[in-house]
Amino acid sequence: MSPDELKALVRTVPDFPEPGILFRDITTLIGHGQGLAAAVEHLAERAHDAGAQAIAGMEARGFIFGAAVAVRLGLGFVPVRKPGKLPIPTIGVDYALEYGSDRLEIDPSAVGPGQRVAIVDDLIATGGTALAAAQLLRTAGAEVDTALFVIDLPDLGGADRLRGSVITVDALMAFEGL
């Protein structure tokens, strides 16, 4: 399936989570076997072309796509977790959200020094979570220069923020507007 065909599988929900927002729901894409397989294949080709040696995905929907891409390429998967989810000593990074802050953590032994890690997630909006993940992975010693997404919301500027941190950004589809 082409990226345009995959885009047709994404459901738009108006006025969620608040009035004026058009929520892009990937549930309909991941529930479509052929569509999910095609999305993973497209992402895997791009990760391979970028020279990825491991794939990282942020909790929770990044686990869906990132783990599948890692399996497809025969690479390891680095779960970037919410705080308190790992039973071992972790390294973490706090980052700002539109209203408040959050934290991401990883097992510092999950990546090797200089290992090329591609970030894979379902959607990029403002880029805060992806930037925090890149910072965290780099702190652990990884080389992070590629981030792949199923959906880009370009009007929110996240892809440009990542590019400003020397990260190549690619998405299977884009939805204009909020």
φ, ψ of residue 59 to 5 degrees: the values are: -60, 130
Q: Is 31 helix (H, G, I), strand (E, B) or coil?
A: coil
| Active-site annotation holds for 18 | no
CB 55 within 8 A of CB 77: yes
Return the number of other C-beta atoms located less than 10 Å from residue 161's C-beta. Answer: 17
Among 41, 45, 59, 61, the one annotated catalytic:
61
What is the distance of C-alpha 64 from the center of its chain?
A: 10
φ, ψ of residue 111 to 5 degrees: the values are: -130, 150
| Active-site annotation holds for 98 | yes
Tracing tokens 């992975």 back to the chain, one arrives at: 137
Where does the chain show beta strands of DSSP type E? Answer: 11-14, 22-25, 54-58, 76-80, 91-97, 100-106, 116-124, 143-152, 168-174
Catalogue the active-site residues: 61, 98
